[in-house]
Each structure stands twice: as structure tokens, then as C-alpha cells.
Amino acid sequence: MVGPIRVLVIDDSALVRQILSEMLGAVSDIEVVGTAADPYVARERIKSLNPDVLTLDVEMPRMDGLTFLRNLMRLRPMPVVMVSSLTERGAEVTLEALELGAIDFVTKPKVDISHTLQDYADELAAKIRAAARVKVRALAQPLKVSPKLSADEVLPPASARTRFRTTDRILAIGASTGGTEAIKTVLLGLPPDCPGVVIAQHIPPGFSTAFAERMDRQTGLKVKEAEDGDQVLPGHVFIAPGDRHLLLVRDGARYVCRLNDGPPVNRHRPSVDVLFRSVARAAGTNACAALLTGMGADGAQGLKELHEIGVHTLAQDESSSVVWGMPGEAVRLGAASRVLPLEAIARGLLLGAAGPTPTGVEGTT
């Protein structure tokens, strides 16, 4: 992309429009070209201003955000970052917006907590950049990321390979931007008697509950937000709660979920690196893991640790990823046994969990 990313801010709150405009206006590679208080005004300003990315309020008068988004994606598809309220209704609408094609979402800025505004501004700018890259991927520049903690801060690496007293298999999945829809595609491809599944998706508190409930309704698996002590059973899926790390541990011959409040890793809690490392320690080669679409690099090192102990590891390919950051970094590190399109990930997981490295799976090594 030549020049700054042109953003149109759509929100019925004048205060939120001002805050978002000021935040983005302070970023050198982003330009707020206009604002709109409702979708009808937004429709005219999209025509006249030709923005690269929209920020769109979930709930607005005259026309709700979902109706506007549905029309937009049908008539003039473009990158959209949703701005959502921290409510049960806000979470449900946001997940539906992601189904309709929104790239990502942020929660409403907390205007009464000034020390969090810079972190919020950084997150918003990063998601705007990622959304812009979806539209002009070939011209994208890699994101600059701040220094990150490693999974060592939460879970020390295993000192040696462990002998396991069970043949029960585990499927582990990590994702970020675009991940809610990618995860749904994978889960829809898994049979009701598949090995137990553990998932780390970058998502805020509150939204993870709604996401898990949505997946439980839409797939043939038993899906829930993980609770400390949950036993991981075949046909069951456990999604990390927002703002807590999910670890897989052994309790005798059983696999059990453990929740952890350690520091964010790679700026994320839950972290995919933490989940994957715990899977390496608890399940070893009884596991198979996949790293799906997402911004940044979280999960790439964890996937490499799994690959190095003989676990069959998968990375989503670039063409089917919303953002090829996390899986792309895994490929760069040599962490993926195979690189597969999203539609082949479920089959690849099942074959990978079945035993030796499978052959004949669509994709590249």
C-alpha cells in the first residue's frame, strides 16, 4: 500500500468517534479520512472518501451494524474491524460479524481508565494494519512487534522426552485474527468420536464464553469454555477462557485442563505457545497440532517444540489464511510437518493423530 492506511470511523457515539480518531490520528501510517454517526451517512462517505478500512460499531440506531455489514460485504467488500461492547449481546453480534466477513474486532475503549488507552491504541492500530493487509496482501509490510515474553515465563520447557502410559490422542489448535471462523471450519470437519481437542484463540474475556457456546451449537462436538480440572475426553472441545492461559496436564492416565494466570506471552493470554508447550509435556507424540490464521508469531515456537519431539504439526497455508502471520512464522522456523489449506486441516489432524507421519495429505511439506 502506498501512503497511509485510510480509515473511516463509524460509531453513533460522538465521544467514541473522537477517541478513535485521535488514537489513529497519532499513528504515522494511518489517516482517519472521516467519521460517520450511522450506516446511512457511512454509505455516502465510503463512496466519496474511498477508505481502505472501516471501524464499525456493533450496535447503532437506524440500521444495526450487522445489517450494514451484510450489505457492505455483498455490494462492496472491504476490510472491517468491529468495535464491540463488553456485553453478552455484544459478543454474540461480534461473532456473527466475523462470520459475515469482518476481519477482527476490538472492544469499546474504556475512557475512564487512562493508563490503558495507549495499550488499546496499539492494539487498534495493529488490527487496522492487519485488516489493510488482507486487502493488499502482496504489498504488505511485516508488522513491527514489541519485545515479548516466552512461554518460559509460564511453563518451563520439558527436560527430556517422557514415556506415556496412555495411547489417548490429543488435538491442539491455536489461532488469532480470522481464527473464530477458521476454528469452526476445522471443528465441522471432525467426527463426534474424534480425540479430545484443546484450543487457544486470542479473544477477550466474555467473548470466549459466547464463542464456545456458538461452536457447541454449530458443530457436532461438545464444546465448552475450559474450566480448571475439566477432563479432556474424545468428542469434547475445550476453548481457553479470555485472559487465562490454558494448559494440558496429566492426572494419572487422564488428560486434564488447567487454567493459569501467568503473565501474557507474546502479548497474549491465552497464549498458543503456552498451550502447545503444555501439550508437548503432557501428551508428547500422542498429540497432533495445528496453527491457524493469526497476526504476530504466537504459537510458532510452541509448534516447533512439538515438531522437534516428533509430533505431526500443521500450519494453515497463506492463501486460505486471513492473516498469514502466526502460521507463516511457523513455516519460516521449520515447525510444520505440513502446510495445508484450511479445508484440509481437520483431515490432517485426524491422520496425524492416528500414528506415523501421514502421506498423501493435500499440501506441502
270 contacts: CB under 8 Å, gap ≥ 6: 200, 201, 202, 240, 241, 242, 243, 244, 245, 246
Catalytic residue among 84, 298, 321, 337: 298
Is 176 in the active site? Answer: yes
The reply to whether 112 belongs to the active site is: no
| Residue 320 among the catalytic residues | no
The answer to whether the CB of 23 falls within 8 A of the CB of 124 is yes
Dihedrals phi, psi of 157, to nearest 5 degrees: -65, 155
- The bridge status of strand 338-340 relative to strand 80-84 is unpaired
C-alpha cell at 158: 520439558
Taking the C-alpha atoms of residue 275 and residue 266, their distance in angstroms, rounded to an integer, is 13
Pick the catalytic residue from 202, 236, 245, 312: 202
Give the E-state strand segments of 72-205 in sequence order. 80-84, 104-107, 170-175, 196-201
Q: Among residues 84, 176, 208, 337, which one is catalytic?
A: 176
Distance, in Å, from the CA atom of 291 to the CA atom of 326, rounded to the nearest integer, reads: 7
**248 vs 205: CA distance, rounded Å:** 20
Q: Which residues pair with 364 in a beta bridge?
A: 339
* Distance (Å, whole) CA 239 – CA 258: 12
Question: Where do the H-state alpha helices sit in 207-359?
Answer: 207-218, 272-282, 300-308, 326-332, 342-353
Give me the sheet containing 312-316, strands edge to edge.
222-225, 236-239, 196-201, 170-175, 287-291, 312-316, 338-340
Q: Give 41-106 as a DSSP string.
A: HHHHHHHHH--SEEEEESS-SSS-HHHHHHHHHHHS---EEEEE-SSHHHHHHHHHHHHHT--EEE
Residues identified as active-site: 176, 202, 298
